[in-house]
């Protein structure tokens, strides 16, 4: 404010000729800046076009470099206009890479698909992506030669389902596909090699991320009975990342509610007296399972650490399991606050915390940029940055304004549907919410 006042005083002291000169030079600089920004934008668009063209090349290393450049471009800017023009082409070329590429190419293409979905936002494009991608991803997951490839495919499936799913059944289908990576007995023709700890961690994290989008009441009990027992066994594994992922999954399951869907088998009895007996057995089973999990969580919250264990990882485990213990015993979910630019993003449920951590991990260097400018993520977290980058408004084209500003636009309608879904989830969670003091 003082700087502007000083500039105004100096302007008054200038004579007419000087004022005209200053005005002229200021206008000239402004035009140069705008022109320069437009040139940079054109250069980026040209580079992206060249990268997409390179995806048709026969040499795998050329396609890998192109995919890496596309990721970098999507991390540095929200490429709405490019997605509008090249969505179908980029989708098909990435799916071709997943079908026929090397492990490195599959890893890169998976990431491009995920960031493409986040940029497009909910609506027809994201739903089309989900429908087109499930089959190629399913086939690629059958070959579990490299953990990094499998992890990338699982993250990709999680992201495109998160954005593109329009029905709970679609989300649950993706969750089942993830589950089959480490539970091949659930599905036919799935490799039976023992999954590595990184694969298990990736699967549990991706599965939990999708569970945040469906209420417990919407899940099929025949599919997920026994999952709490499985996560409980993971708490005893040697790998710390596996234990943390399993602990967060358990906390989320308890927060979602409807525990019987995750812990006991649907007997399907029509005899009312037998139903009462089975119900009593189920209650005892859930209480016993919960007591076991509590003991495991309590032990992990105070673990002393083994030989050679990284102190940072140990502290992360202790803090995570202290939060889980407090939630299971007292019913208080962890509260977190993260600085994004000059703004704070807070979470107060396991659901939001798991979503935030998953997206932060997936986006990596592009996380802050997307959180500041990606309207879909603003809707997800109810986050509105106070300060927008000045260049954003200058870069928004007429096409983008029609896509994102018009109340009748497809994107706007999709965002409205997403917000309604989020509200329904909150209501569902409140209905099924369960804490230590409640009866099962």
> If we measure between CA atoms, which residue out of 379, 223, 255 comes closest to residue 326?
255
DSSP 367-388: HHHHHHH-HHHHHHHT---S--
Average pLDDT, integer, range 9-35: 38
> Which pLDDT value is given to residue 2?
45
More confident residue, 139 or 409: 139
Half-sphere exposure of 427 (CA within 13 A, CB side): 6
Q: What percent of the chain has pLDDT over 70?
A: 68
For 328-378, how does the pLDDT look when each residue is reduced to its tens digit (9 = 90+)? 999 999 999 999 988 999 999 999 999 999 999 999 999 999 999 999 999
**154 Cβ contact list (under 8 Å, min separation 6):** 141, 178, 181, 202, 203, 206
- pLDDT band, residue 277 (cuts 50/70/90): low
φ and ψ at residue 215, rounded to 5 degrees:
-70, 155
**193 Cβ contact list (under 8 Å, min separation 6):** 144
For 162-178, how does the pLDDT look when each residue is reduced to its tens digit (9 = 90+)? 999 999 999 999 999 99
d(CA 186, CA 202): 18
H-type alpha helices, 55-102: 60-76, 80-100
d(CA 24, CA 33): 14
For 218-235, how does the pLDDT look when each residue is reduced to its tens digit (9 = 90+)? 777 778 878 899 999 999
Burial 211-246 (b: 16+ CB within 10 A, else e): bbbbbbebbeeebbbebbebbbebbeeeebbbbbbb
- pLDDT band, residue 28 (cuts 50/70/90): very low
> Which pLDDT value is given to residue 125?
95
């Amino acid at each position: 404010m003082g700087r502007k006042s000083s500039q105004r005083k100096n302007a008054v002291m200038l004579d007419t000729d000087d004022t005209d000169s200053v005005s002229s030079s200021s206008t000239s600089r402004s035009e140069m800046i705008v022109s320069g920004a437009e040139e940079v934008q054109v250069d980026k668009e040209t580079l992206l076009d060249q990268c997409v063209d390179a995806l048709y090349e026969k040499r795998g290393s050329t396609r890998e470099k192109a995919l890496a450049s596309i990721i970098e471009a999507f991390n540095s800017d929200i490429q709405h206009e490019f997605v509008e023009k090249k969505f179908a082409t980029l989708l098909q070329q990435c799916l071709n890479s997943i079908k026929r590429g090397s492990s490195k190419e599959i890893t890169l293409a998976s990431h491009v698909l995920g960031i493409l979905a986040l940029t497009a936002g909910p609506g027809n494009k994201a739903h089309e992506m989900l429908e087109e991608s499930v089959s190629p991803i399913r086939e690629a997951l059958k070959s579990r030669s490299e953990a990094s490839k499998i992890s990338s495919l699982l993250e990709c499936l999680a992201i495109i389902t998160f954005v593109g799913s329009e029905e709970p059944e679609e989300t649950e289908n993706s969750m089942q596909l993830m589950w089959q990576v480490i539970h091949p007995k659930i599905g036919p023709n799935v490799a039976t090699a023992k999954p590595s700890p990184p694969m298990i961690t990736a699967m549990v994290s991706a599965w939990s991320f999708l569970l945040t989008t469906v209420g417990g009441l919407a899940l099929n009990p025949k599919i997920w009975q026994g999952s709490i027992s499985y996560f409980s066994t993971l708490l005893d594994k040697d790998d710390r990342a596996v234990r943390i992922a399993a602990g967060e999954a358990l906390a989320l399951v308890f927060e979602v509610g409807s525990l019987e869907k995750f812990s006991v088998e649907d007997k399907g009895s029509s005899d009312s007296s037998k139903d009462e007996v089975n119900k009593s057995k189920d209650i005892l089973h859930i209480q016993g399972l919960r007591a076991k999990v509590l003991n495991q969580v309590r032990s992990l919250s105070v673990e002393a650490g083994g030989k050679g264990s990284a102190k940072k990882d140990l502290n992360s485990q202790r803090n995570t399991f202290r939060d889980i213990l407090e939630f299971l015993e007292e019913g208080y979910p962890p509260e977190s606050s993260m600085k994004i630019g000059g703004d704070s993003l807070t979470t107060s449920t396991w659901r939001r915390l798991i979503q935030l951590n998953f997206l932060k991990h997936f986006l990596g260097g592009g996380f802050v940029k997307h959180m500041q400018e990606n309207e879909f993520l603003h809707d997800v977290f109810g986050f509105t940055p106070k300060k927008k980058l000045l260049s954003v408004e200058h870069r928004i084209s007429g096409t983008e304004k029609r896509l994102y500003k018009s109340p009748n636009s497809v994107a706007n309608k999709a965002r409205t549907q997403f917000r309604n879904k989020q509200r329904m989830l909150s209501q569902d969670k409140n209905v099924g919410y369960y804490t230590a003091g409640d009866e099962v």
